Amino acid sequence: MRYKELLPEIWQKVYDEKSDTEREIRRYFHRDFLQCIDGQKKNLDAFISHIVKQKSLVRGSYQFRYHFMVEEDNLLACAYWVKGVGINDECIVSLRQVCVN
């Protein structure tokens, strides 16, 4: 499966309200995974904690809308919107940009 097809599948499984978040992340992410955003780095365990916390702030599942995906060899770059409804009924929207190698 190509990365362009795999990434949406991964996020759908990870962010599904009924999923075992840690199990799904560990299924797809390498144990040496490192997330770098805004100068902050998170290893796999910190990333899992971050996602679990995000999910606890949203009622139901997140919705994803992809703007673009570019894949070349084993590199994927994309930008997408993530939307959810917060536990206090506020709309939560953010733009994500991802580069996977």
Q: What tens digit of pLDDT does each residue of 52-65 get?
A: 998 998 888 788 88
pLDDT at 22 over 90: yes
Q: What is the pLDDT of residue 46?
A: 95
Tens digit of pLDDT for each residue in 72-88?
988 888 888 888 899 88
Q: What is the pLDDT of residue 98?
A: 67
Give yes or no for residue 23 having a pLDDT over 80.
Answer: yes
Cβ atoms of 64 and 80 closer than 8 Å = yes
pTM of the complete model: 0.80
Residues in the chain: 101
CA geometry: angle 93, 71, 29, nearest 5 deg: 65
Q: Which residues contact 79 (CB under 8 A, 6 or more apart)?
A: 66, 67, 68, 95, 96, 97, 98
3-100 in CATH: which number?
Answer: 3.10.450.50
Number of Cβ within 10 Å of residue 68's Cβ equals 9
Contact by Cβ (8 Å): 38, 56 = no
Per-residue pLDDT band at 99 (split at 50, 70, 90): low
Average pLDDT of every residue of the chain: 87
